Structure 1
């Protein structure tokens, strides 16, 4: 983003986000997902449980209340949820069309993600969550 701007960052995310996430998951013996209630890619749509956590983090963030990551142990697995908060850099692809997002980026988004819902954000909003499942030592 800093070197080549939002168009290059968008192309990078489109091509490299899943392989990077998957490689980190393998290293840590985990399932790692970025999910949202307003997904850009339908594969990143939050499930019912994740939507509840997104709503929880949105409420806390809006009220400017402190929050901790959510960690839930189920059997030999630990589910971990943590919010993804927007900043000024995020708005280059997730902000408002014609204001934060350039026409070139809008065009690429429409081409690559025709069902894109992941726009219209302002800084310091919950855009989604990290949804991570850590496997028990016996499962690795």
Structure 2
């Protein structure tokens, strides 16, 4: 339980500086900072989405039990990203080569980008963000998700004991085709993807 307490302190520290406002406040602040430059605006949207999911993870980790966080994330992750997608008028996804939820399975374009990022990660590099211009006037912006100490609770190396038995049981129950484990610190876990128009700032649909 000590290590979970340390992780909670770390998470609280992150949230204090990055998520001190709720998702609505953060999205409104982001909207006011939109530049009309799709790459920059996509980065801002990813920042809001990350903050919102970290806030949900904090709720799930109350009491220091990662198994409960699995349940919470299973029920809350998609409503959060879907709500923000509609709010900004874009499409926000999380994808991974080793995915937990089949809905996060990458398509052919996403797979190619993730494979390139994974090659850099295997060399000990932090993959940079990448933006692809599409032929339909839209872009796909990719921001890497890198393994941090907190992530080991649910995505770490099983044989090393990173994932507690109760947490593993909950993962198996909710994700029978789970592939998102045996990661080490600083490895590529996956990526955020924002699909949006290349030449206009996002709209707030729920204003």
Q: TM-score, normalised by structure 1?
A: 0.89
Q: Does the 8 Å contact 1:29/1:135 carry over to 2?
A: no
Q: 1:73 aligns with which of 110, 133, 137?
A: 133
Q: 2:149 aligns with which of 78, 84, 88?
A: 88
Structure with the larger RCO, 1 or 2 (CA within 8 Å, 6+ apart)? 1
- Identify the residue that residue 197 of structure 2 maps to in structure 1: 135
Which moves more between the two structures, 38-47 or 65-74?
65-74
- Identify the residue that residue 32 of structure 2 maps to in structure 1: none
Q: Secondary structure at the match of 2:149?
A: coil
Mapped to 2, the partners of 1:53 and 1:73 lie a distance apart of: 13
- Look at both structures and tell me which one has the larger radius of gyration over its CA atoms: 2
Shift of 1:66: 5.7
Distance 1:138 1:57, change over 3 A: closer
Q: Write the deviation string for residues 49-94 of structure 1: whole angstroms up to 9, x where unpaired.
A: 1111111111222223464311122243121011111111111001
Q: Does 1:113 align with 2:175?
A: yes
Distance 1:53 1:116, change over 3 A: same
- Identify the residue that residue 27 of structure 1 maps to in structure 2: 87
Shift of 1:10: 1.1
Q: TM-score, normalised by structure 2?
A: 0.62
Shift of 1:139: 9.4
- Going by fraction, where is strand more abundant, 1 or 2? 1
5+ residue gaps, structure 2, are 1-6, 9-61
- Going by fraction, where is helix more abundant, 1 or 2? 2
Distance 1:43 1:88, change over 3 A: same
5+ residue gaps, structure 1, are none
